[in-house]
Amino acid sequence: LVCGHCLTIGQHHGHPIDDLQSAYLKEKDTPQKLLEQLTDTHWTDLTHLIEKLEEQKSHSEKMVQSDKEVVLQYFKELSDILEQKKKIFLAALCDVSNLINQEYTPQIERMKEIREQQLELMTLTASLQEESPLKFLEKVDDIRQHVQILKQRPLPEVQPVEIYPRVSQILKEDWSRTEIGQIKKLLIPEMKISSKRMPCSWPDKDEKEVEFFKILNIVIVTLISVILMLILFFNQHIITFLNEITSICFSEVSLSVYQNLSNNLHDLKNMLCHTLYLLKEFMWKIVSH
């Protein structure tokens, strides 16, 4: 018999070698022993581990699926809330559009009617030259009366309207600072329009004109300050001078005159200060506009 190990190495190392039958009988029970090893508790634990891993995987996948449903539900509710808020916003803006139409459309229609009558009278006036003298005299007086009536119809002043509150302001000041969970509680304010006060009717100013008015305002403020300082300076000196003269030379009558003069100077100073202050405010409003 040849040992497989020794056949590979090339020489025998002295270990005992069984014949084929003896070796077979010796290893005949080995498969049973191996089978017992492969079916002991170790492999049972492996089966339980696989089942546990599969169970844990299934549980984790269910958690992920549950989270997906939570995400879908959350954003569906959020989307529904935002969609509802958007509709309310748009409805409010539609109401504002209706108010604007109510404000302007009747005036526009009246002005179009006046313009149509004007064009019609222009056509009739132009055709008078083709009429006979008798027809001319009959129609010219009628047209003249219509022109006078048309000119007497009052023309409206163009009054710009102001929309309040503005949506951009609401979104910036309220919505952008609100937590998502609180959006549902946000109320959409009622939007209205109001006539905006017309600013002083100055012609359009370019940049040079704006700079000019700014410089003019600075000059006016400086002049006012200088005038006030001069008034205070001279008023103080006059009072001091009159006090000295009065204490030496003036009688009771002179003292009365002095007091009246001092009071008048004080009143004049206050009146001038008030006038200059109003002038400054007026110029400042002009420059600001």
Q: Is residue 3 a contact partner of residue 12, using CB atoms and an 8 Å limit?
A: yes
Q: Is residue 191 a contact partner of residue 164, using CB atoms and an 8 Å limit?
A: yes
Chain segment 153-163, per-residue pLDDT in tens: 888 888 888 88
Q: Is residue 175 a contact partner of residue 163, using CB atoms and an 8 Å limit?
A: no
Buried b (16+ CB within 10 A) or exposed e, 257-289: ebeeeeeebeeeeeeeeeebeeeeeebeeebee
Q: Is residue 99 a contact partner of residue 193, using CB atoms and an 8 Å limit?
A: yes
Integer Cα distance of 249 and 269 in angstroms: 27
pLDDT of residue 69: 94
More confident residue, 271 or 194: 194
Helices (H), the chain: 4-9, 20-27, 30-38, 41-127, 133-152, 167-170, 207-248, 252-288
Q: In this structure, what token pair is assigned to residue 243? A: 């006090």
Integer Cα distance of 248 and 242 in angstroms: 10
Chain segment 30-78, per-residue pLDDT in tens: 888 888 777 777 777 888 888 999 999 999 999 989 999 998 998 898 8
Q: Is residue 223 a contact partner of residue 133, using CB atoms and an 8 Å limit?
A: no
pLDDT of residue 27: 81
Concatenated DSSP letters for 11-26? S--S-----HHHHHHH
Rounded to an integer, the average pLDDT of 2-25 is 63
Integer Cα distance of 287 and 212 in angstroms: 9
Rounded to an integer, the average pLDDT of 171-197 is 72
For the chain, the average pLDDT equals: 74
C-alpha dihedral over 213, 215, 220, 225, to 10 degrees? 150
pLDDT of residue 227: 75
Find how far residue 100's CA is from the centre of its chain. 21
Contacts of 155 by beta carbon, 8 Å cutoff, 6+ apart: 111, 114
